[in-house]
A and B are shown apart, each in its own frame.
Chain A
Amino acid sequence: QKEVEQNSGPLSVPEGAIASLNCTYSDRVSQSFFWYRQYSGKSPELIMSIYSNGDKEDGRFTAQLNKASQYVSLLIRDSQPSDSATYLCAVRGGGGSNYKLTFGKGTLLTVNP
Protein backbone atom coordinates (compact mmCIF):
# COMPACT_ATOMS: atom_id res chain seq x y z
CA GLN A 1 0.00 0.00 0.00
CA LYS A 2 1.41 3.33 -1.06
CA GLU A 3 1.52 5.70 1.88
CA VAL A 4 2.22 9.34 2.50
CA GLU A 5 2.98 10.32 6.07
CA GLN A 6 2.80 13.76 7.64
CA ASN A 7 2.89 14.96 11.22
CA SER A 8 -0.69 15.92 12.01
CA GLY A 9 0.39 18.81 14.22
CA PRO A 10 -0.79 21.23 15.17
CA LEU A 11 2.36 23.14 14.35
CA SER A 12 2.34 26.55 15.98
CA VAL A 13 4.76 29.31 14.96
CA PRO A 14 4.89 33.04 15.71
CA GLU A 15 4.25 35.56 12.98
CA GLY A 16 7.39 36.21 10.94
CA ALA A 17 9.00 32.86 11.75
CA ILE A 18 9.82 30.01 9.39
CA ALA A 19 7.36 27.13 9.34
CA SER A 20 8.75 23.74 8.35
CA LEU A 21 6.40 20.99 7.16
CA ASN A 22 7.58 17.47 6.44
CA CYS A 23 6.34 14.50 4.45
CA THR A 24 7.62 11.00 3.73
CA TYR A 25 6.35 8.59 1.11
CA SER A 26 6.67 4.86 0.62
CA ASP A 27 6.52 4.39 -3.16
CA ARG A 28 10.05 4.64 -4.53
CA VAL A 29 8.90 5.12 -8.12
CA SER A 30 6.94 8.28 -7.27
CA GLN A 31 7.76 11.04 -9.71
CA SER A 32 5.82 14.15 -8.77
CA PHE A 33 5.21 15.86 -5.45
CA PHE A 34 2.80 18.57 -4.46
CA TRP A 35 1.84 20.75 -1.54
CA TYR A 36 -1.75 21.87 -1.18
CA ARG A 37 -3.11 24.37 1.30
CA GLN A 38 -6.58 23.78 2.68
CA TYR A 39 -8.46 26.28 4.79
CA SER A 40 -11.12 24.93 7.09
CA GLY A 41 -14.24 23.99 5.15
CA LYS A 42 -12.63 24.74 1.79
CA SER A 43 -11.08 22.63 -0.94
CA PRO A 44 -7.33 22.06 -1.44
CA GLU A 45 -5.40 24.77 -3.26
CA LEU A 46 -2.19 23.88 -5.09
CA ILE A 47 0.71 25.99 -3.84
CA MET A 48 3.86 24.11 -4.88
CA SER A 49 4.93 21.29 -7.16
CA ILE A 50 8.38 19.70 -7.33
CA TYR A 51 9.67 16.96 -9.59
CA SER A 52 13.48 16.93 -9.19
CA ASN A 53 15.77 16.55 -6.22
CA GLY A 54 16.75 19.81 -4.59
CA ASP A 55 14.97 23.02 -3.73
CA LYS A 56 12.30 24.97 -5.56
CA GLU A 57 11.40 28.46 -4.41
CA ASP A 58 8.27 30.46 -5.12
CA GLY A 59 7.89 33.64 -3.13
CA ARG A 60 7.82 32.81 0.58
CA PHE A 61 7.52 29.09 -0.14
CA THR A 62 10.37 26.62 -0.70
CA ALA A 63 9.79 22.97 -1.49
CA GLN A 64 12.60 20.48 -0.93
CA LEU A 65 12.78 16.99 -2.39
CA ASN A 66 15.13 14.13 -1.56
CA LYS A 67 14.12 11.03 -3.52
CA ALA A 68 16.83 8.87 -1.98
CA SER A 69 15.38 9.52 1.48
CA GLN A 70 11.79 9.60 0.13
CA TYR A 71 11.29 12.92 1.82
CA VAL A 72 9.56 16.15 0.82
CA SER A 73 9.36 19.33 2.82
CA LEU A 74 7.79 22.76 2.61
CA LEU A 75 9.28 25.85 4.20
CA ILE A 76 7.20 28.97 4.66
CA ARG A 77 9.28 32.05 5.39
CA ASP A 78 7.95 35.14 7.15
CA SER A 79 4.85 33.22 8.21
CA GLN A 80 1.64 35.24 8.31
CA PRO A 81 -1.61 34.58 10.20
CA SER A 82 -3.23 34.06 6.78
CA ASP A 83 -0.96 31.02 6.33
CA SER A 84 -2.87 29.26 9.11
CA ALA A 85 -4.36 26.23 7.38
CA THR A 86 -3.89 22.51 6.86
CA TYR A 87 -1.07 21.66 4.48
CA LEU A 88 -1.48 18.49 2.46
CA CYS A 89 1.41 16.62 0.91
CA ALA A 90 0.44 14.72 -2.25
CA VAL A 91 2.45 12.24 -4.27
CA ARG A 92 1.85 11.11 -7.83
CA GLY A 93 3.11 7.64 -8.59
CA GLY A 94 5.12 6.37 -11.47
CA GLY A 95 4.30 3.71 -14.01
CA GLY A 96 0.67 2.72 -14.39
CA SER A 97 -0.59 4.87 -11.53
CA ASN A 98 0.98 8.08 -12.68
CA TYR A 99 -2.24 10.05 -12.73
CA LYS A 100 -3.76 9.77 -9.29
CA LEU A 101 -2.56 11.59 -6.20
CA THR A 102 -2.03 9.93 -2.84
CA PHE A 103 -2.41 12.41 0.00
CA GLY A 104 -1.15 12.51 3.54
CA LYS A 105 -3.55 13.43 6.31
CA GLY A 106 -2.21 16.94 6.44
CA THR A 107 -0.43 19.12 8.99
CA LEU A 108 -2.40 21.86 10.71
CA LEU A 109 -0.34 25.06 10.87
CA THR A 110 -1.25 27.91 13.19
CA VAL A 111 0.59 31.23 12.86
CA ASN A 112 0.18 33.34 15.97
CA PRO A 113 0.13 37.15 15.62
Chain B
Amino acid sequence: DTGVSQNPRHKITKRGQNVTFRCDPISEHNRLYWYRQTLGQGPEFLTYFQNEAQLEKSRLLSDRFSAERPKGSFSTLEIQRTEQGDSAMYLCASSPQGGSSREQYFGPGTRLTVT
Protein backbone atom coordinates (compact mmCIF):
# COMPACT_ATOMS: atom_id res chain seq x y z
CA ASP B 1 0.00 0.00 0.00
CA THR B 2 1.84 3.03 -1.26
CA GLY B 3 -0.83 5.59 -0.43
CA VAL B 4 -2.42 8.21 -2.65
CA SER B 5 0.10 10.04 -4.81
CA GLN B 6 -0.27 13.39 -6.53
CA ASN B 7 1.83 15.19 -9.11
CA PRO B 8 3.15 17.75 -9.29
CA ARG B 9 3.50 18.71 -5.65
CA HIS B 10 3.88 22.38 -6.48
CA LYS B 11 2.86 24.39 -9.53
CA ILE B 12 3.42 28.06 -10.21
CA THR B 13 1.69 29.43 -13.27
CA LYS B 14 0.78 32.74 -14.77
CA ARG B 15 -2.79 33.89 -14.94
CA GLY B 16 -4.49 32.65 -18.07
CA GLN B 17 -2.42 29.50 -18.43
CA ASN B 18 -3.84 25.96 -18.26
CA VAL B 19 -2.66 23.48 -15.66
CA THR B 20 -3.25 19.76 -15.14
CA PHE B 21 -2.82 17.74 -11.97
CA ARG B 22 -2.65 14.00 -11.61
CA CYS B 23 -3.83 11.73 -8.80
CA ASP B 24 -3.04 8.05 -8.37
CA PRO B 25 -5.32 6.52 -5.73
CA ILE B 26 -4.51 3.63 -3.41
CA SER B 27 -4.59 0.52 -5.57
CA GLU B 28 -7.99 -1.15 -5.74
CA HIS B 29 -9.75 1.92 -4.34
CA ASN B 30 -12.58 2.47 -6.76
CA ARG B 31 -13.73 5.80 -5.29
CA LEU B 32 -11.79 8.98 -5.90
CA TYR B 33 -12.45 12.51 -4.71
CA TRP B 34 -11.01 15.94 -5.41
CA TYR B 35 -11.07 18.70 -2.79
CA ARG B 36 -9.65 22.22 -2.69
CA GLN B 37 -8.25 23.88 0.41
CA THR B 38 -7.40 27.54 0.87
CA LEU B 39 -5.50 29.04 3.77
CA GLY B 40 -7.40 28.91 7.05
CA GLN B 41 -10.22 26.81 5.62
CA GLY B 42 -11.07 23.15 5.64
CA PRO B 43 -11.03 21.20 2.39
CA GLU B 44 -14.02 21.79 0.12
CA PHE B 45 -15.47 19.04 -2.05
CA LEU B 46 -15.02 19.46 -5.80
CA THR B 47 -15.93 16.19 -7.49
CA TYR B 48 -16.30 12.43 -7.01
CA PHE B 49 -15.66 9.38 -9.17
CA GLN B 50 -16.80 5.84 -8.70
CA ASN B 51 -14.64 3.83 -11.06
CA GLU B 52 -14.58 5.89 -14.27
CA ALA B 53 -17.95 7.58 -13.69
CA GLN B 54 -17.99 11.15 -12.42
CA LEU B 55 -21.02 11.12 -10.16
CA GLU B 56 -21.04 14.65 -8.82
CA LYS B 57 -19.44 17.96 -9.58
CA SER B 58 -19.66 20.74 -6.99
CA ARG B 59 -21.02 24.16 -7.82
CA LEU B 60 -17.54 25.39 -6.83
CA LEU B 61 -16.26 24.00 -10.11
CA SER B 62 -16.72 26.50 -12.85
CA ASP B 63 -16.69 25.53 -16.51
CA ARG B 64 -12.93 26.13 -16.48
CA PHE B 65 -12.46 23.01 -14.39
CA SER B 66 -12.65 19.48 -15.73
CA ALA B 67 -11.79 16.16 -14.17
CA GLU B 68 -11.42 12.75 -15.72
CA ARG B 69 -10.74 9.20 -14.63
CA PRO B 70 -10.63 7.41 -17.95
CA LYS B 71 -9.88 3.85 -16.89
CA GLY B 72 -11.05 3.98 -13.33
CA SER B 73 -7.50 4.21 -12.02
CA PHE B 74 -5.66 7.56 -12.01
CA SER B 75 -7.49 10.87 -12.33
CA THR B 76 -6.60 14.25 -13.77
CA LEU B 77 -7.91 17.67 -12.83
CA GLU B 78 -7.45 20.42 -15.41
CA ILE B 79 -7.94 24.13 -14.85
CA GLN B 80 -8.17 26.26 -17.96
CA ARG B 81 -7.43 29.99 -18.08
CA THR B 82 -6.26 30.07 -14.47
CA GLU B 83 -7.18 33.00 -12.24
CA GLN B 84 -5.52 34.23 -9.06
CA GLY B 85 -8.51 32.93 -7.10
CA ASP B 86 -7.60 29.41 -8.17
CA SER B 87 -4.51 29.52 -5.94
CA ALA B 88 -5.04 26.76 -3.39
CA MET B 89 -4.02 23.27 -2.34
CA TYR B 90 -5.74 20.67 -4.53
CA LEU B 91 -6.24 17.44 -2.62
CA CYS B 92 -7.12 14.03 -3.93
CA ALA B 93 -8.55 11.29 -1.73
CA SER B 94 -9.59 7.72 -2.32
CA SER B 95 -11.67 5.10 -0.56
CA PRO B 96 -12.41 1.45 -1.16
CA GLN B 97 -15.78 -0.06 -1.92
CA GLY B 98 -17.33 -1.88 0.97
CA GLY B 99 -17.74 -1.44 4.70
CA SER B 100 -14.74 0.81 5.18
CA SER B 101 -15.63 2.89 2.16
CA ARG B 102 -16.69 5.74 4.39
CA GLU B 103 -13.04 6.48 5.23
CA GLN B 104 -11.20 8.71 2.78
CA TYR B 105 -7.41 8.86 2.58
CA PHE B 106 -5.74 11.95 1.23
CA GLY B 107 -2.71 12.34 -0.96
CA PRO B 108 -0.01 14.96 -0.30
CA GLY B 109 -1.78 17.56 -2.43
CA THR B 110 -0.73 19.86 -5.26
CA ARG B 111 -0.15 23.45 -4.24
CA LEU B 112 -1.07 25.83 -7.05
CA THR B 113 0.09 29.42 -7.13
CA VAL B 114 -1.30 31.66 -9.87
CA THR B 115 0.70 34.86 -10.36
Point out residues on A near B: beta carbons under 8 Å.
4, 31-32, 34, 36, 42-46, 49, 51, 88, 90, 92, 99-106
Count how many pairs of residues, one from A and one from B, have CB atoms less than 8 Å apart in the complex: 52
Q: How many B residues are at the interface, by size bracket?
A: 20 to 34
Docked Cα-Cα span, A80 to B104, in Å, equals 26
A interface, over-half SS: strand
User: Chain A residue with minimal CB distance to B47?
Assistant: A100
Residues of B within 8 A of A34 (CB): 103-104
- Min C-beta distance of B36 to chain A, whole Å: 11
Residues of A within 8 A of B43 (CB): 44, 88, 101, 103
Residues of A within 8 A of B65 (CB): none
Docked Cα-Cα span, A46 to B91, in Å, equals 14
User: Chain B residue with minimal CB distance to A99?
Assistant: B48
B interface, over-half SS: strand
Q: Is B108 an interface residue (CB 8 A)?
A: yes
Docked Cα-Cα span, A36 to B109, in Å, equals 15
Docked Cα-Cα span, A80 to B107, in Å, equals 25
Docked Cα-Cα span, A43 to B104, in Å, equals 12
User: Chain A residue with minimal CB distance to B41?
Assistant: A105
Residues of B within 8 A of A102 (CB): 45
B43-61 contact mask (Cβ, 8 Å, vs A): 1 or 0? 1110010000001100000
Residues of B within 8 A of A88 (CB): 42-43
Residues of A within 8 A of B42 (CB): 4, 88, 90, 103-106
- Min C-beta distance of B32 to chain A, whole Å: 11
Docked Cα-Cα span, A105 to B44, in Å, equals 10
CB-based contact A43/B91 at 8 Å: yes
